[in-house]
Structure formats: structure tokens, C-alpha cells
Amino acid sequence: MAEMTMRATESRMAHYVPRLGFWLAVLAGLMLAALPIGWRTGLLFFRDGFTYLMRPAVFVGVAAAVVSLIALFWWGRMNRGGRVMALLGLAAGLVFVYYPLQFYAKLYPIPLVNNVPLPRIHDITTDVENPPAFAATLAAREGEKGSNTVAYGGAALARAQHDGYPDIVPLMTKLAPDYAFKQALATAQGMSGWTIVKSDPAAHTIEGSQRSLFMGFTDDFVIRVSADGTGSRIDMRSESRWGISDFGVNAGRIRAYMAALKPKLS
């Protein structure tokens, strides 16, 4: 009798536990999906979504992964559907934990992972003394009420940028400004995901924007080519319309552009 009861209990566990882990993973995925949907449709402010959806989704994802891992103890008693659910629940749970945490890990010191967290800034430029000014993208920014200002943050912002991104510097070339501008524009037009809003050959400036895939946040950038002796200096500024921290996205955008442009200037 006791053996039969134990077998019946194991059979129930083999049936219900993998399904519980799987549906917890589905719940975590739905919570994460609701964040960009809510923000893009105007039903949810992004900061509320981070607080009430993304953070709880981490714990739900952990629960999904743990429950699915426990379910593997009854692997031999599971049917094919149960095994698939257990594996999917484990894999999806881990993914839904990793995705939010990899953002937060950039901002907080974590031993052996991130001893030097990124600065909580969203306006990055190669020229902190005279940052390139936004003009063509201002109308779009003004249409997003409550978005970040384009006024540069001054010395405090410059220090934070230098501490976090000391490699963000101007690109110098021996090419004359007119030719350097042509190369700068061609490179900008070839950058994946970039939308060029305006290019001004007379002022040697290029303005554009890029939208993030997950949340749909828009960042604006401006590129300026100026004379430097007989050569040229290329500066770039990239700023997020929303949020306090950009998680390193703007600095990464400047690095990627400068790396793509540099070979064309030699």
C-alpha cells in the first residue's frame, strides 16, 4: 500500500511539476513582453514597467528555472510532453532571468563580474568643452513630452563620462574637412539601424537617430566635422531621449561609428 501511494505521488509530481515550471516561465515571458508593449502603446510609463514588471519577472523566472530543475528528478516517470515542458521551463526561466539582470549588472558593482559599474548618464560626447549641438532632431524630441533636455550637463557630466568612458575621444585625420565630411556621411549612412535626419555639407554636420529593438527608446546623435590645422577633427554626440542611465548604449554607438569611419580616413 505504501509503495503504491509513493508511486502515485511520484506520478502526480511527474505530471504537475514540469507543467508548473513551464507556466511560470510563460508568466515571466508575458511580464517582460508587457513592458515594451505597454510603453510603446502609451499604456504604461517605462519606469513603472521596470518596477512592477521587469523586476518581478526576474523572481518568477528564477522560480520557473528552479521548479523545472526539480522536475528533472522525475524524468523517468514523465511522458514526452512533460519532458519537453521541463526543458523549456528550465531554458526559458534562465533566459528570462538573464535578460533583465544583465542590464542591472552594468550599474551595480558585482565582485568578479563588474567591479567598475557604468556611470548613470545618458549624454555622451567626444567634445565635453563644446559638445555638438542638436538642431534637426529637436522637433521630434519636443513631441515626446517629458523627455530629456538637450542642454549639456557641464563639468559634472564630463567627469562622469571621463571616469566611465575614457576612450571616447575625437577622431583626427589629415584629410580636409570637405572630404572628411563625405566619408563621415557615407559611414553614417551605412550604420545598421541608423536614420539620418539631416546632413549639412556647408556646416559639416550630420544628425540622426536610432531606435532600440526591445523598448523602442530613441537616441539622437549629431556628428560634426571641423577644421584642425590642415586636417580635420570629427566629433560626435549621442543622447537618449528617455531615462537617466543608457546602460552604455550611447558610448557604444560612438565607438562603433568611429571604428567604422577610421579606416576610411587613412
Q: Is residue 77 domain-resident?
A: yes
14-66, pLDDT tens digit by residue?
Answer: 778 999 999 999 999 999 999 999 999 989 999 999 999 999 999 999 999 99
Question: Residue 114: inside a domain, yes or no?
Answer: no
Q: Of 77, 104, 131, which marks where a domain is finished?
A: 104
pLDDT at 111: 64
| CATH number of 161's domain | 3.30.530.50
Q: Which of 54, 70, 104 is the last residue of a domain?
A: 104
What does the alpha-carbon distance between residue 97 and residue 32 come to, in Å, rounded to a whole number? 10
DSSP 56-121: HHHHHHHHHHHHHHHHGGGGGG--HHHHHHHHHHHHHHHHHHHHHHHHHTTTS-BTTTBSSPPPS-
| Highest-pLDDT range among 54-58, 68-72, 181-185, 246-250 | 181-185
In a domain, 208, yes or no: yes
Q: Are residues 258 and 145 part of one domain?
A: yes
Residue type, position 9, single letter: T
Residues 55 and 156 in one domain: no
Reported as a pLDDT band with limits 50, 70 and 90, residue 4 is low
Are residue 99 and residue 19 in the same domain, yes or no? Answer: yes
Tell me: do 159 and 210 sit in the same domain: yes
Contact 14, 74 (CB under 8 A): yes
Same domain, yes or no: 135 and 249: yes
Write down which residue in 104, 139, 159 finishes a domain. Answer: 104
- The larger pLDDT score, comparing residue 82 to residue 9, is at 82
Residue 43 is predicted with a pLDDT of: 92
Q: Tell me the pTM.
A: 0.85
CB 118 within 8 A of CB 248: yes
> Do 258 and 137 belong to one domain?
yes
67 and 128 within one domain? no
Q: What pLDDT was estimated at residue 3? A: 58
Choice among 10-19, 117-126, 160-169, 231-240 with the minimum mean pLDDT: 10-19
Is the pLDDT at 139 greater than 60, yes or no? yes
- 86 and 129 in a single domain? The answer is no
Residues 6+ apart with CB under 8 A from 40: 215, 216
pLDDT, position 117? 83
Q: Are residues 81 and 148 in the same domain?
A: no
Residues 68 and 200 in one domain: no
31 found inside a domain: yes
Same domain, 75 and 207: no
- Residue 230 — φ and ψ, nearest 5°? -90, -5
Q: What is the pLDDT of residue 5?
A: 62
For residue 9, the model assigns a pLDDT of 64
pLDDT value at position 217?
92
Residue 214: give the domain boundaries. Answer: 123-265
What pLDDT digit, counting tens, does each position of 75-104 carry?
A: 888 899 999 999 999 999 999 999 888 888
Q: Are residues 71 and 130 in the same domain?
A: no
Alpha-helical runs (H) found in the chain? 2-40, 46-49, 55-71, 80-104, 138-142, 154-164, 177-189, 249-261
**Total structural domains in the chain?**
2
Give the mean pLDDT of 148-172: 95
